[in-house]
């Protein structure tokens, strides 16, 4: 199972088990600690972020469903429980260096970043095809590495919510993996990134250090 699918399934399992009942202040602290236990067992920052955003999304959905029928929002223990969970999970995001900021992607920017990611994936697939015989000789060991990188690049399309600066940090991790593994030359990376229009120059600037 890929990292992406594993983390998504882990988050969905967590949501099904812990969000089945109302999250009031008597339960929120317990659920926060359970979430921290899951996060502790996840090594990669991008995987932690995926789990956290998935459970935060579920938390917000539950709160939004509750609010229209809430008779005393200021003193409601359910509201307070959801707010506590959101605050604590945002703290966990902060600990791995991710802060949701106002520098958000618009639809056109997301579209162009998607194109950039697709170009990088296309490059990996071309690389794999050119080394097809060698990959077979290596017992598909490198094939697994390449497929993992492709899946993690695809997952970046689901993480625009973290804001441009943070998204580029996550993107940089995957680009570094590509360079280190010999999948792509650093100059090619910068050409692909730089091709993605003016507003993506922040990403190129980040890669340049």
Question: Do 62 and 117 belong to one domain?
Answer: no
Question: Do 9 and 91 belong to one domain?
Answer: yes
| φ and ψ of 97, to 5 deg | 85, 20
Is the per-residue pLDDT at 37 higher than 90? Answer: yes
- The CA distances from residue 157 to 4, 12, 185, in Å, are 12, 19, 23
Question: Do 199 and 124 belong to one domain?
Answer: yes
Segment 10-32 mean pLDDT: 87
- CA–CA dist 185, 39 (Å, integer): 33
Which pLDDT score is estimated for 58?
87
pTM, two decimal places: 0.56
Which pLDDT score is estimated for 168?
82
Question: Do 84 and 135 belong to one domain?
Answer: no
Quickly state the pLDDT bin for 38 (edges 50, 70, 90).
Answer: very high
When divided into structural domains, the chain yields a total of 2
Does 133 reside within a domain?
A: yes
Does 100 reside within a domain?
A: no
Does 72 reside within a domain?
A: yes
Which pLDDT score is estimated for 121?
86
- Write the pLDDT tens digit of every residue in 103-162: 667 667 777 788 888 888 888 888 777 766 555 554 455 555 777 888 888 888 878 777
Question: Alpha-carbon dihedral of residues 12, 18, 20, 26, nearest 10 degrees?
Answer: -160
Question: Do 130 and 44 belong to one domain?
Answer: no
Question: Do 84 and 146 belong to one domain?
Answer: no
Question: Do 86 and 134 belong to one domain?
Answer: no
Does 20 reside within a domain?
A: yes
Domain boundary among 95, 128, 151: 95
Which pLDDT score is estimated for 36?
95
Which pLDDT score is estimated for 1?
44
Quickly state the pLDDT bin for 24 (edges 50, 70, 90).
Answer: confident
Does 62 reside within a domain?
A: yes
Which pLDDT score is estimated for 103?
65
Residue with more model confidence, 198 or 27: 27
Does 66 reside within a domain?
A: yes
- CA–CA dist 158, 139 (Å, integer): 32
| φ and ψ of 85, to 5 deg | -60, -45
- Write the pLDDT tens digit of every residue in 79-98: 899 999 988 998 898 888 77
Structure tokens at 156: 């970046």
Range of the domain at 112: 107-208
Give Cα 31 to chain centroid, integer Å: 21
């Amino acid at each position: 199972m890929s990292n992406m699918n594993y983390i998504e399934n882990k988050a969905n399992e967590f949501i099904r088990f812990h969000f089945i009942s109302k999250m009031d202040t008597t339960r929120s602290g317990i659920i926060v600690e359970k979430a921290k236990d899951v996060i502790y067992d996840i090594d990669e920052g991008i995987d932690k972020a995926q789990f956290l955003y998935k459970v935060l999304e579920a938390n917000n959905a539950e709160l939004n469903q509750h609010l229209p029928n809430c008779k005393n929002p200021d003193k409601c223990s359910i509201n307070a429980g959801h707010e506590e969970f959101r605050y604590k999970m945002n703290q966990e995001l902060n600990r791995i260096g991710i802060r949701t900021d106002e520098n958000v992607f618009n639809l056109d920017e997301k579209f162009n970043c998607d194109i950039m990611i697709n170009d990088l994936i296309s490059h990996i697939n071309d690389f794999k095809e050119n080394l097809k015989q060698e990959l077979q000789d290596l017992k598909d060991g490198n094939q697994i590495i390449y497929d993992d990188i492709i899946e993690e690049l695809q997952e970046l399309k689901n993480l625009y919510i973290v804001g441009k600066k943070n998204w580029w940090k996550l993107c940089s991790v995957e680009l570094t993996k590509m360079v280190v593994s010999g999948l792509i030359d650093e100059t090619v990376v910068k050409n692909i990134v730089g091709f993605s229009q003016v507003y993506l120059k922040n990403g190129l600037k980040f890669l340049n250090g």
